[in-house]
C-alpha cells in the first residue's frame, strides 16, 4: 500500500473512519497524528457500530499496530474508557495499541477553560466540542503542558500538576468558575496513568523500526482541512494541523517517507460548529436530517449541510497534495432531482475561484453553482463502478475533476462492503 496520509478535504466528518478502516486492510501500522477526543470516527463491522475518538480505527482489525502519535492531545480518562469499551465488544487492544510518551495530556482545567471562553465569546463563539482541545494545545505551545511521560511517573506528575492547578484556578476564579481540587484530579489521573502505562512508549522509534522493515504505514487524519489551525477558516478551526504536514510533525516520520495522500470528501458538504460554510443550504440540510443523517458522532449535534463545494476541495487538494480522493455518502443524494456543485464564489461583482483568507469576505461570499441531473435510484447496493447509475458516475467524475484529483473510492454506505474501488 505504501505510506499513505489520509486527510479530510472539507470541514471534518467526511466519513474518514470508514475509509481508514478499508485502507487499513493493507497497512501494517495505523497512526493518529493530531487532534484529540474531539474526533469521532464511526465504523460499522458486520452491523456492529464502533465510535472511536482517540484510538485509530485499525484496532478493529486483528494484528494491526495502532499508534497514538506525539501530535495528539490525550484525555487519559477518556482513553481508558475507550479501551474498556472496545474490550467489552471483544476487540483486542493489548499488544496492538502504542501511545506516544511525548503526547500532551488534556486536563480538567483545559475543558473548563474551553467552556468558559466559549461563554465569554457569546455570539462569536467557535462552537468547540468542549473537550479542552484548544487550551491543551495552547499549553503545549506555551511550554507548560504535561505529557504522557509525566503522567506515568506519579511523583513528577503530581508536583507539576499542583503548580498547574494553582495557576489555572486563579484564571477559573476570574471567570467566576469553581476552582479544581488538586487531590481529586491527581487521584483520578494517577489511576488512569497506572492503567495506561503499559501502552506508553517511544512511538517515533517504533515507527522508524517499522519503516526499516519495509512495513506500510497509514497516517489517519482527524477533522478536516478547513479546521486546520493554519489553513482553515481561522478562528473557526481546531487547534492542530489537520492537513497532510501534520502527519509528519505528529508522528516523527519525515516527508520524504510519505508516498501518497488520499483526501476524503462527502458527495456534499457538512460542518459542525460556527464559521463560514459558503454552500450551506436548507433544502439539502432538511432532506439529510429527515433521513436521520448528519448528526455528530462526538456531540450528537445536527451538522450544518450544503452542496458540494469544489472551490474548497480544490484548495484542499492544493495544501495537502492530494493524489486520490475517496467520495463518501453518495447514497445521501439518491433522491434528488437536481444536484448543485459550487464552482466559484462571488462577492458583489468579484468572483473567486480560490478560497479567500479574509474570514469576513469569505462569510459574504455566495456560491456560483453548476447543476447536475440527479440519478434518483438507490445506490447503496452497488458493488462495482458499473453498478452505479450513469448520472451518478458523471457526477462523481465531475467533482473529482473540479477538485483536481483522481477518483479512487466511491462509498455508498457505512459498511465495508459498500466500497467501490474506481
127 sits near ligand IMP (criterion: CB under 6 A) = yes
Residue of minimal Cβ distance to ligand IMP: 273
Asked if 128 and 240 count as a contact pair (C-beta separation under 8 A), the reply is: no
Tell me which stretch binds ligand IMP (CB under 6 A): 124-132, 192-200, 284-292, 380-388. 124-132
Binding mask 134-173 for ligand IMP (x = CB under 6 A): x---------------------------------------
CA proximity to 316, closest of 381, 266, 375: 266
Please calculate the CA angle 60-50-289 and round it to the nearest 5 degrees. 140
How many other C-beta atoms are found inside a 10 Å radius of the C-beta of residue 111? 18
Hey, what's the cell of 346? 462571488
Q: Give min distance, CB of 381 to ligand IMP, in A.
A: 28
- Tell me whether residue 31 or residue 420 sits nearer to ligand IMP (CB atom): 31
Q: Is 13 assigned a catalytic role? A: yes
Asked if 229 and 240 count as a contact pair (C-beta separation under 8 A), the reply is: yes
Binding mask 364-393 for ligand IMP (x = CB under 6 A): ------------------------------
126 sits near ligand IMP (criterion: CB under 6 A) = yes
Cα–Cα dist 31/319, whole Å: 21
Instruction: Give the largest CA-CA distance in the chain.
Output: 65
Q: Give min distance, CB of 138 to ligand IMP, in A.
A: 11
Site for ligand IMP in 58-117 (CB under 6 A): none
Between the CA atoms of 51, 54, 55 and 58, what dihedral angle is there, to the nearest 10 degrees? Answer: 70
Among the listed residues 110, 131, 140, 266, the single contact to ligand IMP using CB under 6 A: 131
Q: Give min distance, CB of 238 to ligand IMP, in A.
A: 3
272 sits near ligand IMP (criterion: CB under 6 A) = yes
Q: Give min distance, CB of 353 to ligand IMP, in A.
A: 26
Buried b (16+ CB within 10 A) or exposed e, 379-411: beebeeeeebbeebbebbebbbebbebebbbbb
- Tell me whether residue 64 or residue 266 sits nearer to ligand IMP (CB atom): 266
38 sits near ligand IMP (criterion: CB under 6 A) = yes
Instruction: Please give the size of the binding site for ligand IMP, defined by CB under 6 A.
Output: 20
Q: Give min distance, CB of 213 to ligand IMP, in A.
A: 32
Asked if 399 and 388 count as a contact pair (C-beta separation under 8 A), the reply is: no
Cα–Cα dist 97/303, whole Å: 31
Cα–Cα dist 146/107, whole Å: 9
- Tell me whether residue 133 or residue 311 sits nearer to ligand IMP (CB atom): 133
At which residue does the C-alpha cell 497514538 appear? 68
- Tell me whether residue 238 or residue 328 sits nearer to ligand IMP (CB atom): 238
Binding mask 4-23 for ligand IMP (x = CB under 6 A): --------xx----------
- Tell me whether residue 44 or residue 236 sits nearer to ligand IMP (CB atom): 236
Contact partners, residue 387, CB within 8 Å, separation at least 6: 381, 420
Binding mask 198-237 for ligand IMP (x = CB under 6 A): ------------------------xx---x--------x-
Asked if 407 and 14 count as a contact pair (C-beta separation under 8 A), the reply is: no
How many other C-beta atoms are found inside a 10 Å radius of the C-beta of residue 1? 15
At which residue does the C-alpha cell 517517507 appear? 257
Q: Is 41 assigned a catalytic role? A: yes
Burial class (CB in 10 A: 0-12, 13-18, 19+), 311: buried
Q: Which residues are catalytic?
A: 13, 41
Binding interface with ligand IMP (CB under 6 A): 12-13, 38-40, 126-129, 131, 133-134, 222-223, 227, 236, 238-239, 272-273
Amino acid at each position: 500500500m505504501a505510506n499513505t496520509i489520509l486527510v479530510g478535504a472539507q470541514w471534518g466528518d467526511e466519513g474518514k473512519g470508514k475509509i481508514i478502516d478499508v485502507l487499513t486492510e493493507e497497512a501494517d501500522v495505523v497512526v493518529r497524528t493530531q487532534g484529540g477526543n474531539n474526533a469521532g470516527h464511526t465504523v460499522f463491522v458486520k452491523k456492529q457500530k464502533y465510535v472511536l475518538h482517540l484510538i485509530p480505527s485499525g484496532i478493529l482489525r486483528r494484528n494491526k499496530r495502532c499508534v497514538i502519535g506525539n501530535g495528539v492531545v490525550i484525555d487519559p480518562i477518556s482513553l481508558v474508557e475507550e479501551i474498556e469499551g472496545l474490550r467489552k465488544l471483544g476487540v483486542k487492544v493489548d499488544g496492538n495499541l502504542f501511545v506516544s510518551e511525548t503526547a500532551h495530556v488534556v486536563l480538567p482545567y483545559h475543558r473548563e477553560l474551553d467552556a468558559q471562553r466559549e461563554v465569554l465569546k457569546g455570539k462569536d463563539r467557535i462552537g468547540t466540542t468542549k473537550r479542552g482541545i484548544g487550551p491543551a494545545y495552547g499549553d503545549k505551545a506555551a511550554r507548560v503542558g504535561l505529557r504522557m511521560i509525566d503522567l506515568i511517573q506519579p511523583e513528577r506528575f503530581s508536583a507539576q500538576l499542583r503548580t498547574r492547578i494553582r495557576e489555572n484556578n486563579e484564571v477559573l476564579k476570574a471567570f467566576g468558575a469553581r476552582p479544581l481540587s488538586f487531590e481529586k484530579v491527581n487521584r483520578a489521573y494517577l489511576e488512569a496513568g497506572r492503567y495506561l502505562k503499559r501502552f506508553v512508549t517511544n512511538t517515533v522509534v517504533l515507527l522508524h523500526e517499522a519503516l526499516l522493515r519495509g512495513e506500510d504505514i497509514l497516517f489517519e487524519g482527524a477533522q478536516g482541512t478547513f479546521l486546520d489551525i493554519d489553513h482553515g477558516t481561522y478562528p473557526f478551526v481546531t487547534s492542530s494541523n489537520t492537513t497532510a504536514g501534520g502527519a509528519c510533525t505528529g508522528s516523527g516520520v519525515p516527508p520524504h517517507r510519505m508516498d501518497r495522500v488520499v483526501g476524503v470528501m462527502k458527495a456534499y458538504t457538512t460542518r459542525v460548529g460556527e464559521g463560514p460554510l459558503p454552500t450551506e443550504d436548507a433544502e439539502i440540510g432538511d432532506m439529510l436530517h429527515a433521513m436521520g443523517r448528519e448528526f455528530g458522532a462526538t456531540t450528537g449535534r445536527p451538522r450544518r449541510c450544503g452542496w458540494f463545494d469544489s472551490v474548497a476541495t480544490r484548495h484542499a487538494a492544493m495544501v495537502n497534495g492530494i493524489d486520490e480522493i475517496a467520495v463518501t455518502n453518495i447514497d445521501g443524494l439518491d433522491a434528488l432531482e437536481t444536484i448543485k456543485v459550487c464552482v466559484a464564489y462571488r462577492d458583489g461583482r468579484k468572483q473567486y475561484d480560490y478560497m479567500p483568507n479574509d474570514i469576513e469576505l469569505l462569510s459574504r461570499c455566495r456560491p456560483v453553482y453548476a447543476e447536475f441531473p440527479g440519478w434518483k435510484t438507490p445506490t447503496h447496493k452497488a458493488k462495482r463502478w458499473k453498478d452505479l447509475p450513469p448520472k451518478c458516475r458523471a457526477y462523481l467524475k465531475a467533482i473529482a475533476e473540479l477538485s483536481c484529483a483522481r477518483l479512487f473510492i466511491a462509498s455508498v454506505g457505512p459498511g465495508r462492503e459498500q466500497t467501490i474501488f474506481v
